[in-house]
Amino acid sequence: MLSVIQASSPSGNYAGQHIDAILPGPAHIFRQIKLWTVWPFAVQNNAIAAKFYKLFTLALAGLVGASLLRKHKSPMLLWTLAWLVIPLLLIIAFCYLNIPIWELRYVLFVSPYLFILLAAGITRLWKQWKVSAIVIGIGYLIAVSGGLVEYYTVQQRPDYKFNIATIEKYEQPGDGIVWSYYYTKALDRYYDGTADIYHLTIRDVKTDTDLQKWVSQVPTDYSRLWLVEDSKNPLQDDLKKMIAKTYDIKQLFEYELGSKVMLLTPLE
């Protein structure tokens, strides 16, 4: 803990990478029950599914409680609860005292203790109320199945990989790339080419004035320039029109989540 505090002073690089992270509260701990067990995604697009998963999260929390509400509590279960809760409380304290580091993958190491408590809860339920245990089991099967279907059929990550694959397929020596995503590590992971890369995030572009200023920063000394447009840009149509005043859009590639890749050349 002390070594992390030293490395994450407000003036350090580590702090800069986490400046937009969440300051967690009790709801974030409660929400991990759903994320770790049945639905590891941020949202449900279907309103009925969203209500189902909220209710089922309450049921899972009840199972944890059932594992602990006994006249003769098992010391092993109390230790299990401690290993689940205490590290999370320390991380929350660190977030408020230093910088926010609350990320799902950072706290995932305590999830096995949650599963132990859930198993103890379903065991107690089975011994005393078999019908309730069967209902919970069926609900769990439905919830997990929904999560697996979502995982295998819906693209959850942005189009980074596909954007870069398009560029690598068609790029030529001397090309340049303008990367408008806020996240840049995708380039390190997926891009193996040699083009010059310019990072001009478009996330904070909200008005036409902002957009005009952003376009003015796009380099003009390339015969071929790849513009990778973030799908979260609310001014996509305006950007295309403004770019067309300065560049010839030779090719336009569109992707599933709304991002675009434009091959630009100077106007003749």
Q: What is the pLDDT of residues 51-65, one digit of tens each?
A: 999 999 999 999 998
**Residues in CB range of 109: below 8 A, 6 or more apart:** 87
Q: What is the pLDDT of residues 87-121, one digit of tens each?
A: 999 888 888 887 788 888 889 999 999 999 999 99
Q: How high is the pLDDT of residue 237? A: 79
pTM: 0.70
CB 92 within 8 A of CB 21: no
CB 38 within 8 A of CB 147: yes
CB 235 within 8 A of CB 268: no
Q: How high is the pLDDT of residue 246? A: 85
Q: What is the largest CA-CA distance in the chain?
A: 84
Provide the 3-class DSSP secondary structure of residue 266: strand
Per-residue pLDDT band at 179 (split at 50, 70, 90): very high
Per-residue pLDDT band at 183 (split at 50, 70, 90): confident
CB 202 within 8 A of CB 229: yes
The overall average pLDDT reported for the chain is 87
Q: Which residue has the higher pLDDT, 20 or 201?
A: 201
Q: How high is the pLDDT of residue 72? A: 62
Per-residue pLDDT band at 71 (split at 50, 70, 90): low
Percent of the chain with pLDDT over 90: 48
Q: How far apart are CA 136 and CA 142, in angstroms?
A: 10
User: Alpha helices of the chain — where are they, by DSSP H?
Assistant: 2-7, 13-17, 26-37, 47-68, 75-97, 104-107, 111-128, 130-153, 160-170, 185-190, 208-216, 236-246
- What does the pLDDT average to over 204-211? 86
